[in-house]
Amino acid sequence: MKKKHIVAALLSITSLTATAATDTAKLSLNRNNIKVWTYQTENNPIIQYRAETTFDVPLERAVAVVLDVERTPQWVPYVGKAQVLSRDEKKGEFILYMVLDFPFPLKDRDLVIKGKMSKNADGSISIKNNVIQNNYPEQPDVVRLTKYTGDWTFQRVGNNKVKVTTTGYADPAGSIPLSFVNMFVQQQPYQMLMKMKKEVNNPLYAQPHLPDLLK
């Protein structure tokens, strides 16, 4: 498997979200076949989200986009860098370093993520990510995130159709205006899935290559 093909925690990485019961969720956006739910929990004041859509491509093609770490900054808003630090193809595990490029005057964020990919009994594919403490050097004027989880789920709903769901949680740390956080949580997943809709049709993924454990 090529170096670039390792689970990109990306994507849901930029979600300022938290685990919560979906029955409290509010449908905040429903546009261009993309739905974004936002909600809050008692113990977390940050608005959370879950987003989903469908693409008219095979499941494998959508998964291949998320696994292509080198292209993550091309289609995931605010991701400035994504780098694979290590991987275990047999276990489906990886460690990833990512930088979030926030607009001035906000400081950029970075984090180290441990992720795991798996194929479920129903044929769907899951990617689960969690931040870890790591000795990767901290960068000047970049805030290191220490609280984050995020998931991607890919479910086949036809021969050439896949349902994609992304969720996550991240404490953005530092000082960020609430107005930016709220905008970020509602708009970022929508923009990401809109760009992913174009990316899944990139000729690069015409013959997607997935790790053996996902086949």
- What local confidence, expressed as pLDDT, does residue 103 receive? 84
- What local confidence, expressed as pLDDT, does residue 178 receive? 67
Comparing 95-104, 173-182, 191-200, which segment has the lowest mean pLDDT? 173-182
The superfamily CATH assigns to domain 11-214 is START domain (3.30.530.20)
Mean pLDDT of the chain: 84
The one-character DSSP state at 178 is: H
- What local confidence, expressed as pLDDT, does residue 19 receive? 39
**Dihedral sign, Cα of residue 109, residue 110, residue 116, residue 119:** positive
Prediction pTM value: 0.85
**3: pLDDT strictly greater than 70:** no
Confirm if 120 and 126 have CB atoms less than 8 A apart: yes
Name the token pair of 16.
């300022």
**157: pLDDT strictly greater than 70:** yes
pLDDT (tens digit, 9 = 90+) per residue, 41-93? 776 666 778 999 999 999 999 999 999 988 999 999 889 999 999 999 889 99
- What local confidence, expressed as pLDDT, does residue 182 receive? 67
Average pLDDT over residues 14-23: 42
Residue 32 backbone zone (phi > 0: left; psi -120 to 50: alpha; other: beta): left
**15: pLDDT strictly greater than 70:** no
**Which is higher by pLDDT, 24 or 164?**
164
- 112, 13, 14, 8: which is closest to 70 by C-alpha? 8
**104: pLDDT strictly greater than 70:** yes
**17: pLDDT strictly greater than 60:** no
Instruction: Please state the domain extents for the chain.
Output: 11-214
In sequence order, which residues have a C-beta less than 8 Å from that of residue 144 and are 6 or more positions away? 109, 110, 111, 138, 173
